[in-house]
Amino acid sequence: MTIRPVRPQELSALQDVERAAGRLFADIGMAFVADDEPLPPDVLERHRKAGLAWVAVDEADTPVAYLVAEPVDGALHVEQVTVHPDHARRGIGRALVEHLERHAAALGVPALTLTTYAEVPWNAPYYARLGFAPLPEEEWGPRLRAIRAEETARGLDLRPRLAMRKPVAANPLPAGAAARLAEAVRVREGGDPETARRSLLALSAEFPGDARVAYQSAWAHDVLGLEAEAVPFYERALALPGLPREDRRGALLGLGSTYRVLGRHTDAVRILRQGAEEFPQDGALRAFLAMALYNTGGHHEAMTLLLRLLASTSEDPGVRAYRRAIEFYAGDLDATV
């Protein structure tokens, strides 16, 4: 089976594949999915022009499956992956997803996402076997939330749906280098950041394309108060593929707060806002964003952020008693009666 980019003249063939696959949903009582129209040609063409549309073709070069994707909240989102029923159970869907994963790794994209039906055997259970895991709603970014809202408006939520995420595998460090990285982290955590910094600088010189080495190098400099030296390592860590999600959160926070300390307030707002959008439940990112907004004159938004953070996280009995009022006035600080 060959996978190649979609050609302009094949858009209607993709719709035919989608209609054929949709009939399977009618067989399990989900006619509302079977009746849902395929992606229109203009949308398919947009994906094709973006270089995010591929087909699997048979020996006659005829499309029998396809996948289209789009950038969503820092990931590549599988908008549609469909295999014609006549060619099912041959590993074609898996091959298309793996092709997208390799493409994401080459672009430095850290994850794939998709939305799907929780209980349909060839939906969520299938994607779980491919390495996807349910993505909690509190971790959805703004665009993923919009996608789910669009699906609900189209009437696709008559059966439970969920979002799923798969990290894009990074090229692993050689075993010896991985052991040196782990030892450097242990030394830093043990209270000797200068020794850790020297070890990490040597690793960075040997493996400049490893995001984890770059992130740990940034942290070692930051701990020592070497903020300016930490910045290029933070920037490299965020630009490279393979940074684990929790480390990405730390890198966004570290770079944003470091920009602020260095007086690069506009850059701090940009990075911290990105972090708050990717990790909407992270209070530290919102707090540092509020500080950076204050530095750039965004006093109203800063105050709103802090009041909402206070209302949602404080265990103080007085704050809890007035939580609803605080949340209300945070949305309109000029409100009067």
pLDDT in tens, 53-96: 999 999 999 999 999 999 999 899 999 999 999 998 888 999 99
- All CATH 3.40.630.30 domain ranges in the chain, comma separated: 2-167
- All CATH 1.25.40.10 domain ranges in the chain, comma separated: 175-331
Instruction: Average the pLDDT over 297-301 and give the result.
Output: 89
The DSSP line for 173-196 is PPHHHHHHHHHHHHHHHTT-HHHH
H/E segment holding residue 112: strand 111-117
The yes-or-no verdict on residue 333 having pLDDT over 70 is: no
The reported pLDDT for the residue numbered 336 is 56
The yes-or-no verdict on residue 337 having pLDDT over 60 is: no
pTM as predicted: 0.54
Q: Answer whether 64's CB lies under 8 Å from 54's CB.
A: no
* Structure-block tokens of residue 32: 């509302």
The CATH code of the domain at 2-167 is 3.40.630.30
Q: Which CATH superfamily is domain 175-331 in?
A: Tetratricopeptide repeat domain (1.25.40.10)
Dist CA 197 CA 320 (whole Å): 44
Q: Which residue has the higher pLDDT, 178 or 55?
A: 55
